[in-house]
Amino acid sequence: MNRRNFIRSGCTFCAGAIGAGFIVSTMCSCASLPIYKGTTEQNKISIPLSNFKDSKILIVRNNQMEFDILLVKNSETDVNALLMKCSHQDNQLTATKNGLFCSAHGSSFDLQGNVTKEPAMSPLSKFRTEINNQIITVFLK
């Protein structure tokens, strides 16, 4: 192996190793988002506030609903409830700590449901919420 090839392959290997290490470390540090499986009663879902212990966002899953709901805790008295359905073509959304993303066509939304990247043009559907006695109630209608 000549000097040029050695430098080239050495640099390629190092860059690959650093890149792989970065990806693995970021993936390990990124824990999965908590999912709360709730049931609906009279078009309402109740979620204990204690579920927000480790994260300010929580996915609420209910078998009677086609899409999940993302709860975003803005403060002790204010929680957003966003339907995780893209306003562009009704695809499921992927939620992260930084926003919601549509893997199908690239739309993205902030944690308030506003469009941050097209092709979606309308904000996400929101549900009214109430907090009483450490229980969040999401009104589905």
Told to check if 117 binds another protein by CB under 8 A, we report yes
The CA radius of gyration of the chain, in Å to the nearest whole number, is 20
Nearest to another protein of 9, 98 (CB atom): 98
Q: What's the closest the beta carbon of residue 84 comes to another protein, in angstroms?
A: 8
Nearest to another protein of 9, 103 (CB atom): 103
Which run of H or E residues covers position 21? helix 3-29
Nearest to another protein of 66, 76 (CB atom): 66
Judge whether 42 and 137 are in contact, CB under 8 Å.
no
- Find the binder of another protein among 50, 64, 121, 134 (CB under 8 A): 121
Alpha-helix residue ranges (DSSP H) falling in 75-130: none
Told to check if 64 binds another protein by CB under 8 A, we report no
Size of the site for another protein (CB under 8 A): 30
Q: CA-CA distance, 102 to 22, in Å (whole number)?
A: 24
Residue 69 CA neighbour count, 13 Å, CB half: 32
**Binding pattern for the stretch 95-114 against another protein, x by CB under 8 A and - elsewhere:** xxxx--x-xxxx-x------
**Binding pattern for the stretch 20-59 against another protein, x by CB under 8 A and - elsewhere:** ---x--xx--xxxx-x------------------------
CA torsion sign, 49 to 53 to 54 to 56? Answer: positive
If you count them, how many residues does the chain have? Answer: 141
Structure-block tokens of residue 54: 């480790």
**Binding pattern for the stretch 122-141 against another protein, x by CB under 8 A and - elsewhere:** --------------------
